[in-house]
Amino acid sequence: MAESKASVTWQEDKAFMGVSPSGHNVQIDADKEKGASPMELILLGLGGCASYDVVAILQKSRQELVDVRCELTAQRAETVPAVYTDIHMHFVVTGQDIKDKQVEKAIHLSAEKYCSASRMLVQGGVNITHDFEIIVG
């Protein structure tokens, strides 16, 4: 099993500095004044993980990508712990001659096989849905 090491150090008030296993600094702030909140980072992590997969799969299938954006909409429980209950991922894929079937397949493979963040959240009870649009450009 692979091991990862990270650290989070308190700075002031509700602000922390995270250091990722690869050595990158990430400003974290529960008040969202000096950085993203911990829950926002989970949402961004999911979007980043899935987007990476979708781009890699589409490139391997020789789709002529110009841009890929993942817009996430999330609902959280109203009681503590205020976990995500539902997340919708809308992929906007821009390029030339992009095939619907290829985008659909890439999103499915990411969700069902490759995206660790997605699999972890789904196993924790989060309902994650997906859709996409293709923009010719």
* Domain boundaries of the chain, sorted by first residue: 1-36, 38-136
- Between CA 41 and CA 46 the distance in angstroms is 9
Assigned token pair, 26: 């990430």
- Between CA 30 and CA 34 the distance in angstroms is 9
CATH homologous superfamily of 38-136 equals K homology (KH) domain (3.30.300.20)
DSSP single-letter state for residue 52: H
Domain 1-36, CATH: 2.20.25
Average pLDDT of the residues of the chain: 97
Q: According to the model, what pLDDT value does residue 11 have? A: 97
- Between CA 53 and CA 61 the distance in angstroms is 12
Give the residue-averaged pLDDT of 58-81: 97
Assigned token pair, 5: 């090491």
pTM: 0.94
Other Cβ atoms closer than 10 A to 86: 13
